[in-house]
Structure 1
Amino acid sequence: MRSALAGVADPADAIHLQRFFKTGPGEYGEGDVFIGVRVPQTRKIVKHFAELPLSEIDQLLDSEVHEHRLAGLVILNGRMARVSRKRGADVAAQELIVELYLAAVRRGRVNNWDLVDASAEFILGPWLLDRPRGLIYELAQSDSLWGRRVALLTTFAFIKAGDTGTTLDLCERLLTDRRDLIQKAVGWMLREIGKRVDQTILTGFLDAHAAEMGRTALSYSTEHLTPEERAHYRALR
């Protein structure tokens, strides 16, 4: 896998990606290393390594190279989808995948927004859809920005299943978190509730909380509302 990724790596793209993903001192992706492989290339290569053992996926997730970690997560997504689709889902196999993923999250290896967004809803989402969700709240209380974003993005799977309760609860709890990537995630998930489930659920939340929401979260959440509605909620801040 590493050799295959290296074979399509572009040093010029690596420089661009390091800037795009904010890897400079004090930025959210500080110190991350890119070799210059775009996401479509990574996904194409991953198809040839779908059966990579979990122990080797774990090695990818521990790599300092961002594209290695993304490749490992994409493989885990596919593995989780396959074992979840089986009649009488293979719970033991699911649990191994979830444990490996959570270990990577907790040791800070799922540590940029693209890594979170490409994995949380596809790995933790199916696992927690019909289970107690204490884990979500544990992650939401994490000191790690990425742990909190994992919690929010996991609930995208719930939204797609028509279940908005956990998302709304997390958004309320994280309203005062002014980290930009949390603000964007809160607004994004609220917008998806209005788009995919029921717009009145979104507007009900905004009626109650728009005055205390950050500008970014409010902007994202109201994107699909009318200009008049957007102006109304902005005026409440």
Structure 2
Amino acid sequence: MTSAPVVEAVRSALASAGDPDRAVAQQAYMKSAMPYRGITAPELKALLRPLLADPALELPGRGAWEGAVRELWDGATHREERYAATALTGHRAYQRWQDPDTLELYRHLVVTGAWWDHVDEIASQRIGPILLSHREEVTPVILDWAQDDDPWLRRTAVISQLTFRERTDLGLLRATIEPNLDDTSFWLRKAIGWALRQYARTDPDWVRATVAEYGERLSGLSRREALKHL
């Protein structure tokens, strides 16, 4: 199968960039089994910008776009290729495909990415906007994910409304948090506190009352995060 030109262009650009010494440090910091090229986040953004904006490399349809994302992601030999796949999902040229039909792709990225550097951006910057625009269709999906066996899908559900502020669905927020209150995972406890802390910027009294209501069921980590700026 022939790769899309944008996939080849991205792989070639990544292969010729980076710093081997930095790559070792990045891999250790991220506890990643997959190696790094040693490209910083600003360098990666600058490298990808002209490639993703090049009309000659634009993907011709939804299937081609999703195929390119999956190829970069599933065929990655270095972690930056997965970061590039995430950048490709969010590029303005493909905004018209940010709808419920894309959730299965994002579910795949969350489950196979299975670490905060992948999951958090996909949850808040990709899945969140789809939820905001298609509440009736997407809310049941988020509710299912909040009780899924996969902990990263549960984290995704909890933090899916991070950017919503006054548009936060409080019933959904509680419905994603409550099935996970007794979970001992650091990543879920952190997510619960983070979600509450973000909403505290909009309604601190609601967050204080909710923390009090949950009482001892709320872990110390979640409580500290929730009340951090109150």
**Equivalents in 2 of 1:93, 1:144: separation in Å?**
23
**Equivalents in 1 of 2:221, 2:206: separation in Å?**
19
Kindly indicate whether the alpha-carbon contact (under 8 Å) linking 1:158 and 1:164 is maintained by their aligned counterparts in 2: no
Shift of 1:135: 0.9
Kindly indicate whether the alpha-carbon contact (under 8 Å) linking 1:153 and 1:185 is maintained by their aligned counterparts in 2: yes
Deviation per CA, 1:51-93: give whole Å up to 9, x if none: 354111211111242211111112212248732xxxxxxxx66
**Equivalents in 2 of 1:146, 1:119: separation in Å?**
11
Q: Please state if 1:119 is matched with 2:125.
A: no
Instruction: Give the TM-score, by structure 1 length.
Output: 0.78
Q: Please state if 1:97 is matched with 2:106.
A: no
CA separation of 1:44 and 1:113: change in aligned 2, threshold 3 A: same
- The structure with the largest helix share of the pair is 2
Counterparts of residues 1-237 of structure 1 (less than 5 Å): 1-23=10-32, 31-50=33-52, 51-52=58-59, 53-54=64-65, 55-62=67-74, 63-79=76-92, 82-83=95-96, 94-105=99-110, 108-129=111-132, 130-132=135-137, 133-159=139-165, 161-195=167-201, 197-225=202-230
Q: Percent identity?
A: 27
Aligned length: 207
CA RMSD of aligned residues (A): 2.2
Kindly indicate whether the alpha-carbon contact (under 8 Å) linking 1:124 and 1:154 is maintained by their aligned counterparts in 2: yes
Runs of 5+ consecutive residues of structure 1 not aligned to the other structure: 24-30, 84-91, 226-237
Shift of 1:99: 3.2
User: SS where residue 47 of structure 1 aligns?
Assistant: helix
Runs of 5+ consecutive residues of structure 2 not aligned to the other structure: 1-9, 53-57
